[in-house]
Amino acid sequence: MEKLRGYEGGDCLKGIVIQNENKYFTFLKEVFLSIDNIQKKYNWLITNYECYPQLKKNLKVLSNDYCWITGEDLTAMIESENFQWIWGVFSAFPQNISKDIIMQYEFPEADGNERLWKNPIILQHPLAEIEIIAWDSTMTIFISREDSITNMLQKKFNYSVDLVEYNSSF
């Protein structure tokens, strides 16, 4: 069966780019703490990822082409080992949406995805509520349907830049 194309965007989304030349990204523990651990309320699809956890249990969880994980389990994994993500797309879904429905769509991508740098900003999966993108160890892109969640993160990372403004600079 052919996968459905995702991409949903528009004015209702708010995104930021977290980038600082003095620091490597993406370490999720700091991101999760900044959003008051709201990630626990979602199920997560992790796709197009490259990372190097050291713990065997984390290696096993991340040994496939994608990872489907509860927010509680994702949080526990990151608390056990706050390893760096080089690439990856973390898509958050309400817990009442089944994995079977989510998997009918193409997987979100980070590496090589030029659409990330165009306005209007989008969520690559139309059923996602939040998207966190690890971009080549140099930045984290955070997009949410809820401004309040993005605002919490933006307060912690006061050097972050609005994604629409960032994209407009190209």
Confidence grade of residue 20 (pLDDT, cut at 50, 70, 90):
confident
Residue 51 in domain: yes
Residue 2 in domain: no
Confidence grade of residue 25 (pLDDT, cut at 50, 70, 90):
low
Residue 3 in domain: no
Count of CB atoms within 10 A of residue 64's CB?
A: 9
At 129 the three-state DSSP class reads coil
Q: What confidence tens digit (pLDDT) does each residue in 68-124 have? A: 999 999 999 999 998 889 999 999 999 999 999 999 999 999 998 999 999 999 999
Residue 107 in domain: yes
For 117, which DSSP code?
A: G
Residue 1 in domain: no
What separation in angstroms does the CA of 158 have from each of 11, 19, 54, 90, 151?
A: 22, 10, 31, 22, 10
Query: What is the rounded average pLDDT of the residues 130-145?
Result: 94
For 53, which DSSP code?
A: -
Number of domains in the chain: 1
- The residue segments making up the domain with residue 151 are 8-168
pTM here is 0.92
